[in-house]
Amino acid sequence: MDAKNYFEKNAEILKKINPDLLEKLLAFRQTSGGNSEQNTKLTFELLPAKADMPHEYCGGATFKINGITVHSVYDPVAEGKKWAASVIEKYSKKHEKPENIIIFGLGFGYHIKELIKLLKDKFGEINPFKISVFEPSIESLNFILSSCDVSELLNNKILLSVPEKDIVFGETDLQLFELISYKNIFKNEYARIHKMFNINQFFSPSSFKVLIAQPMYGGSSTVGNYIYKAFLNCGYNADIIDFSRFYDGYKYLNEFTQNEDHINSLRQMLSNLMSEALLSAVMNNPPDMVLFMAQSPATERVILRLRSMGIITAYWFVEDFRTLTYWSGIAKHVDYFFTIQKDEFFKELENMGLHNFYYLPLACLPSFHDKIVKNNNNNTADNSGDGSNYNNYNNDTADNNVNEYNEDDETKYGSDVSFAGAGYFNRKNVFAKLTDFNFKIWGNDWIADMPLSLLIQDGGKRFTEEEAVKIYNYSKININLHSSMWHWDINPDGDFLNPRVYEILGCGGFQLVDRRRYLKGIFEDGKDLVVFDSAEDLRKKIRYYLDNEAERSTIAEHGYNTVRKHHTYERRVSEMMNIILLNSYDTIKNKLVSRRENISKLLKETEKEPELHSLIKIFEDKGSVSIAEMVDYIRRGKGRLSKTEAMILMLWSLKARAARLEKDHK
C-alpha cells in the first residue's frame, strides 16, 4: 500500500473520531504539499522491516525522527511487548484496574497494540479503558498516517490528539507513559506535558482563589465582569472588586476646579485611595492571584506588596498599546502581563528586558452572548463544554429575559444595518456614506447633526451589554468598524480584534468587519464573517448580503459555531491559568500541598468537636479555610446559629473592632 492509500484509510477513521484534528492535518498537508521532507523542523526516514519479521504492525517497519530511531530496527514487536509488560506490572503492584492511561507517542503503534492485548488478557474487554495518545507534532502525525496503517488503533481503541499549548487534564486518576525515543526527540513537548500531568495531581480550581480587580469604568470593566464569571464557570474560587462606585466621585472632581493640573492631582489621589482599599481587602482575605484589568488601580507599591505576600500578580491589558502607554510602568512589576496585541508590542516589551508577556485575545461569554429565540423549547444552542451554569454575566444588573424573543425589542433594536459603539472620527466619516440604508447607530459621542442625526438611537445614550445582545440579534447586518482618532476611514495597519468581533458572532449575528491583521488564523473571511476594505466595499457588501439572506445566515451560523468552540472566556481562563501554572509550578504546588496537609490536620484535631469539624469539612475540597471564609459561609446560611457558629461570628466582630481601635490609635 502506498503513502496515499495509507493516509486515505487512516483519514477515513480520523474523520469519524476527531474531525478537528483531521482538519488541522489537511491544512498542514496543503501548506507543505503533503511532503514531510519540506518541513524545516523535523526530518523523517522510513526504515523497512527485516526480512524475517512477520508482516503485521506496519510490516515490522520503523522510522527515524531527526536521526533518532523510534522503534527497534530488529524486532519492534518484541520491544512493544516489553514496554506493555512494564505498564501492566505497575498496575499489578497496585492491584487495581487501569483507567485513563495517557501515552506520549503514537509511533507506528507497536507498543499500544501490545498493551491493549495484555489489558484484554488480564482485565477482559478494553472498552472500560480510556487510552489517550498524544502525538506531539502535526508533522510527525502526517508522516505516520502516510507511512503505516493504524486505522485499527484509531477505530474505537484510542483517543488520539495533538495537544495544544493550553492542554488541561480533566481527570485526577491518570497514569502517564511514554516512548523513550519520543521523550528524547520531543524534549520540550514532553517536559510541558509531564509538568501539566504533575500539576493535575495536586491542583483543583476550587482550591485556587482568584481576585479580579476592576477599573472604575470602560470596556475593560465589562471584560472583567465576563472573565470573572468565566473563572466561576471553570470552578475557581473567584471574587471581584468593582471600583465603579468611585466613578461618580471621579467625575465630580471637575466641579472643584478647572485647573487641569489640580484635577490630575485629585485623580491621582483617588487612584491611590482605591489602591489602598484594594490592598486592605487583600490583606483581610489573601487570594492566590490578583488579576488586574486595564486601568484598574494597580500602583507599583500595591503590586510589589502583593508579590511580597506570595500572591501571584497578573495584568490583562485589553487596550491598544499605541494609544494608552501607561503599560510601561505596569508590565515590569507584575508576574504575568497579558496583551491583545503582539508583534510590535512584544518588541517594545523585549526592549525593556521583559519576558513575562503573553498574547491573550478577547472572547465571548456563551451563556450571555447567545442567540435570541422565539420559543425556549426550540432553543438548540449547545452550551456544552463552556462550563456555563448561569444565565447572565452579572446577576445584579442583567435582564433575566435577555435571550428570549420579544416583539417590542425586535421593533426597537431591529434594522437592516446597525452599529453599536462610540462615535470616533473614522466611524463618522464612513457612516455618513450609509444614510440611505435602514441603518441604526447606537452609543455615545455621536454629534447629533446632519446627516447622521436621524440614525442615532436613544439620543446618543450609552447602551447596556444586555441591549448589545439584542442589537446583534435583531439586526440583519452588524457593522464592526474598529475605532481610530486619526484615520479618515479604515486603519490599514489595524491588528487586534475588539470585543465586538467575538460578541456579535456569539449572538449568532452576521458581521461585516474592517480588515485586521489578527483575523487570519482566527476567523475565515466569507465563512465566519465578511471583511471589508473601504467605505465603498462596505456599501457594496451591505447591499449584496441584504439581497442574499440564505448566504448571510449560513455565514452567521458558521461564525457562531466557531466562536463558541474556540473563543470563549472559559477557554481564555484555561489558556491564562495553564501559562501561570506551568511557570509558577513550584510556588503553587508548595502552597496547595501545604494547605491540603493543614486542613487534614485541622479535621483530625476537631474530631471531638462535631460542630466545628462539620464546618471545616465543608471546605475540604478547596484544600484550605480561613476565618473570613467561615464567617462569610455562616452569614449566607439560613436557620438558627449553632453555638460554634455564634462564637466564630463574635470572635470575628472582636477582631474587626480591635483593628479599628488600632487604626484610630495610630
> Using CA atoms, how far apart are residues 386 and 250, in angstroms rounded to an integer?
37
Lowest mean pLDDT among 449-453, 555-559, 570-574: 449-453
**Same domain (yes/no): 191, 275:** no
Structural domains in the chain (count) = 4
**Same domain (yes/no): 195, 277:** no
**Same domain (yes/no): 353, 406:** no
**Same domain (yes/no): 311, 419:** no
Whether 50 maps to a domain, the answer reads: no
The pLDDT value given to residue 183 = 94
Predicted confidence band at 386 (pLDDT cuts at 50, 70, 90)?
A: very low
Greater model confidence, 205 or 482 = 482
- Among 359, 388, 417, residue at a domain's last position: 359
Residue with cell 471564609: 629
The pLDDT value given to residue 383 = 41
Question: Tell me, what CATH number does 416's domain have?
Answer: 3.40.50.2000
Read off the pLDDT of residues 249-271 as tens digits, 9 standing for 90 and up. 877 777 887 888 888 888 788 88
- Among 185, 202, 219, residue at a domain's last position: 202
Asked if residues 156 and 125 have their Cβ atoms less than 8 Å apart, the reply is no
- Among 540, 567, 594, residue at a domain's last position: 567
- For 136, phi and psi rounded to 5 degrees? -70, -10
Read off the pLDDT of residues 51-78 as tens digits, 9 standing for 90 and up. 666 656 687 899 999 999 999 998 898 9
Question: Whole-number mean pLDDT of the chain?
Answer: 85
Whether 576 maps to a domain, the answer reads: no
Question: Tell me, what CATH number does 172's domain have?
Answer: 3.40.50
**Same domain (yes/no): 550, 629:** no
> Using CA atoms, how far apart are residues 599 and 55, in angstroms rounded to an integer?
58
**Same domain (yes/no): 455, 558:** yes
Whether 332 maps to a domain, the answer reads: yes
Whether 53 maps to a domain, the answer reads: no
**Same domain (yes/no): 454, 519:** yes
Mean pLDDT of all residues in 97-111: 87
Greater model confidence, 5 or 227 = 227
Read off the pLDDT of residues 613-636 as tens digits, 9 standing for 90 and up. 888 787 776 666 777 777 878 887
Read off the pLDDT of residues 424-472 as tens digits, 9 standing for 90 and up. 999 999 999 999 999 999 999 987 666 788 899 998 999 999 999 999 9
Predicted confidence band at 395 (pLDDT cuts at 50, 70, 90)?
A: very low
Task: State the Cα angle at 163 between 229 and 521, rounded to 5°.
Answer: 70
Asked if residues 503 and 562 have their Cβ atoms less than 8 Å apart, the reply is no
Is the pLDDT at 588 greater than 70? The verdict is yes
Angle between helices 585-605 and 187-202 (to 10 degrees): 20
> Using CA atoms, how far apart are residues 591 and 588, in angstroms rounded to an integer?
5
**Same domain (yes/no): 488, 634:** no
Read off the pLDDT of residues 296-345 as tens digits, 9 standing for 90 and up. 888 888 999 999 999 999 999 999 999 999 999 999 999 999 999 999 99
Whether 137 maps to a domain, the answer reads: yes
> Using CA atoms, how far apart are residues 512 and 479, in angstroms rounded to an integer?
5
Whether 261 maps to a domain, the answer reads: yes
**Same domain (yes/no): 354, 455:** no
**Same domain (yes/no): 461, 523:** yes
Question: Tell me, what CATH number does 264's domain have?
Answer: 3.40.50.2300
Q: Which domain holds residue 196?
A: 3-40+78-202
**Same domain (yes/no): 175, 234:** no
Predicted confidence band at 661 (pLDDT cuts at 50, 70, 90)?
A: low
Q: Is the peptide bond before 451 cis (omega within 30 degrees of 0)?
A: yes
Whether 121 maps to a domain, the answer reads: yes
**Same domain (yes/no): 177, 209:** no
Whether 46 maps to a domain, the answer reads: no
